[in-house]
Amino acid sequence: MNQNLTFTIFGGTGDLTFRKLLPALYNMCVSGRLGADDRIVIIGRRSYSDDDYRAIARDWVSKFSRLPYTEEDFAGFASRIHYYQMDFSDKEAYEGLNRYYQEHQLYSHIFYFAVAPRFFGIIVEGLTGVDGAENGKVIIEKPFGENLAAADALNQKMEAFFSPDHIYRIDHYLGKEMVRNIQTIRFTNPIFSNLWSAEHIECIQISALEDVGVETRGGYYDSSGALKDMVQNHLFQILSIVAMEQPEQFSGSEMHAEQIKVLRSLRPVKAKNIKDSLLLGQYEGYLEEKNVDPNSTTETYAALRLFVENKRWKNMPFYIRTGKKLGHREMDVAIVFRRSSPEIAPNILNIKIQPTEGVYLQFNIKNPGDTDEIVQTKMDFCQSCLDIFRINTPEAYERMLDACMQGERSWFSQWDQIETSWKFIENIRKVYYKQNLPVYPYTPETNGPTEADEFLNHYNHEWFE
Ligand code: BG6
């Protein structure tokens, strides 16, 4: 039997496919990480020939690929792409897809559901009509359902068809270079690993600040909000990597086992503590965004103060901040060490995830000259400033597709992580809204609600760049 691999992308004419998946597959193809006979089958409703679709793909790939675009490389890549027109919500249509696979002898599958989660179940039902589909792998995008109950129902449906270890749930933050670097920085440097606890660290701050608004995704975002869109998945993944105990190995189940322990140790937020644990905001102008309810109270900003209840992190706050339409784009993890005395700035280890990738360590020195003044300086490693690193670093989606092909599961979300995070976030959100706490308005292009400054009152901006 022909063992060539077929990537079938449902939602092949959507933004995700054009911006991320095709450029990632192109990079994989150019760098020899696709087998000679591997195929890409694009599923879409529109009527395109293979050549029509390849011409559209060319524009996107030339714009978004990491590796240089050349006509010759693209021709080699494009010859693998086939367009198959069908309505994936029509169960009958899968008979035709099955025939197509048979005719082309495509038996070894990776299915990519690049569609809204409400279609996942329909596609799984349809695939029951495709011979051997249940032996394939499936990659699904977040959000996994709109809430815990929906995510649970969806998961059951998926696991009833695909083997659980063939389900790859993407959290693209796990594919980011500096997120993958956290464990190396932490565990291979005794100067950090020996100090990695509440005894020596004052607080840890995880920030994901975005300058963009909801753009074309108002409908989806309005039913989601910052907590579900960013915190429950991406930022909790990062939190669990930063706070976990060292796993025996960094691959597969050992790492997941440590990460899930952290999530399960998050101190539940009670009604009386909610004001100290969560603050929500909404940018001015959000209510006028397309497909947003004009009376919406959905948060576009969230700041959280959380505790991990174990010996290592006893009573040390983890701050998480995320928001849209802020003054600048920045994602980082700041480890703020305990100070030698209250009036002296802390040492800070800052792991910069994007847009700049790198790491810096801030410390105190005497201001040079005839003075005893103490000032802060830093040792700074800017990884993304060097072209050689930039071009050699696969992008998140490329990494995830490659990992799925290799059966490497450690950098995907597991169901138990998703379930635990959903429970925590749903609870904290419910408590906040039940108490009618304000969703504070904020002016676009600022740091978010001014009330958040007080909430994050340990956070002295002068100490950070
Ligand atoms: C997505 C969210 O998961 O991540 C978006 O749905 C957000 O709202 C995006 O903008 C951020 O990803 P990145 O890679 O640009 O930081």
Whether 339 contacts 345, CB under 8 Å: yes
**Ligand 1 atom at minimal distance to the Cα of residue 208:** 16
Q: Ligand 1: which of 210, 222, 228, 322 to mutate, judged by most atoms within 8 Å of the beta carbon?
A: 210
Tell me the whole-structure pTM to 2 decimals: 0.91
Q: Which residues of 86-106 are buried (b: 16+ CB within 10 A; e: fewer)?
A: bebeeeebbeebbebbeeeeb
Ligand 1 atom with least separation from CA of 229 = 6
Locate the ligand 1 atom nearest the alpha carbon of residue 224 and give its number: 6
Q: What is the pLDDT of residue 186?
A: 96
Show Cβ contacts of residue 430 under 8 Å, excluding neighbours closer than 6 positions.
none
pLDDT of res. 130? 96
* 222 Cβ below 6 A of ligand 1: no
Burial 123-144, CB ≥16 within 10 A → b, else e: bbebbeebeebbebbbbbbbbb
List, for residues 131-171, the tens digit of each pLDDT value: 999 999 999 987 777 788 988 998 999 999 999 999 999 99
Which residue's C-alpha comes closest to atom 6 of ligand 1? 229
DSSP state of 300: S
Domain segments of the chain as ranges:
4-140, 171-390+413-456
The parts of the chain modelled with pLDDT lower than 70 are: 1-2, 390, 392, 458-465
Nearest to 338 by CA among 244, 184, 203: 203
DSSP 8-state code for residue 193: H
Measure Cα distances from 433 to 199, 269, 288, 293, 427 in Å. 35, 13, 22, 17, 10
Terminal-to-terminal C-alpha distance of the chain = 58
- Is 141's C-beta closer than 6 angstroms to any atom of ligand 1? no
Which residues, 6+ apart, have CB-to-CB distance to 457 below 8 Å? none
DSSP helix/strand/coil, 303: strand
CATH number assigned to the domain covering 171-390+413-456: 3.30.360.10
Ligand 1 atom having least distance to the Cα of 221: 8
Determine the distance separating the centroid of ligand 1 and the alpha carbon of 324, expressed in angstroms.
Answer: 10
Q: Is residue 325 part of an annotated ligand binding site?
A: no
- Whole-angstrom Cα Rg for the chain: 24
Is 91 one of the annotated binding-site residues? no
Statement: 4-140 belongs to CATH 3.40.50.880: no
SS3 for 139?
Answer: strand
Q: Exposed, middle or buried by CB within 10 Å (0-12, 13-18, 19+), for 295?
A: exposed
**CB distance 210 to ligand 1 below 6 Å:** yes
Which pLDDT score is estimated for 458? 57
Test site for ligand 1: of 229, 321, 400, most ligand atoms within 8 A of the Cβ: 229
Give, as one character, the DSSP assignment of residue 327: S
Which residue type, as a one-letter code, is found at position 41? Answer: V
Q: Is the CB of 229 under 6 A from ligand 1?
A: yes
Ligand 1 contact, 332 CB (< 6 A): no
pLDDT of residue 2: 44
Nearest Cα to 137, choosing from 101, 170, 108?
Answer: 108
Per 3-state DSSP, the chain is made up of helix, strand and coil in percentages (nearest 5) of 40, 20, 35
Which residues are catalytically annotated?
234
